[in-house]
């Protein structure tokens, strides 16, 4: 269990630098496309694929891993990070996710960074406490 928590922390921290790269305004629609990748046959695909793929959170080490993608845009003065997710149900019914199987949420970039910082601090504090108890 400890491995998964530490791995998530490391992957989120690594992803933040990728997420902070602004998506060029002319690629926003392509990058924001549904995780089904339906836009890959459009002329924008080559340019957008770099931005599209850079924002994936690595979850391949998880069983029935969700697909989680982040990207940052500045449109009309609004500096925003968007998080999109999609997950398939566990065929064995052992793992369940709370919430819809697909969706996305956008938040101001400063709130995203504050949440990542808080997650990092909380995880480190919890790990430190657990180690102290052992």
pLDDT in tens, 78-89: 999 999 999 988
DSSP single-letter state for residue 39: G
Number of domain units in the chain: 1
Q: Tell me the HSE value of 69 on the side-chain side, using a 13 A CA sphere.
A: 23
pLDDT for position 47: 66
pLDDT tens digits along 52-95: 777 888 888 888 888 899 999 998 899 999 999 999 888 898 88
Per-residue b or e along 71-106, where b marks 16 or more CB atoms closer than 10 Å to that residue's CB: bbbeeeeeebbbbbbbbeeeeeeeeeeeeeeeeeee
Residues paired with residue 104 on neighbouring β-strands, in sequence order: 84
- The structure tokens listed for 23 are 């998506």
pLDDT tens digits along 14-45: 888 888 888 878 777 777 765 455 556 666 66
Instruction: Give how far Cα 125 sits from Cα of 56, 66, 100, 118, 119, Å.
Output: 26, 26, 30, 10, 10
43 close to 100: Cβ distance less than 8 angstroms: no
Residue with tokens 């601090």: 121
């Amino acid at each position: 269990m400890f491995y998964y928590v530490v791995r998530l922390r490391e992957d989120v921290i690594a992803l933040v630098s990728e997420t902070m790269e602004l998506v060029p305004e002319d690629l926003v629609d392509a990058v924001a496309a549904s995780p089904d990748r339906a836009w890959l046959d459009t002329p924008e695909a080559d340019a957008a694929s770099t931005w599209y793929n850079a924002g994936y959170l690595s979850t391949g080490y998880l069983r029935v891993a969700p697909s989680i993608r982040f990207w940052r845009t500045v449109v009309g003065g609004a500096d925003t990070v968007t998080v999109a997710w999609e997950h398939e149900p566990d065929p064995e019914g052992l793992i369940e996710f709370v919430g819809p199987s697909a969706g996305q949420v956008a938040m101001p970039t400063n709130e995203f960074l504050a949440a990542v910082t808080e997650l990092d601090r909380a995880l480190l504090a919890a790990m430190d406490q657990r180690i102290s108890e052992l």
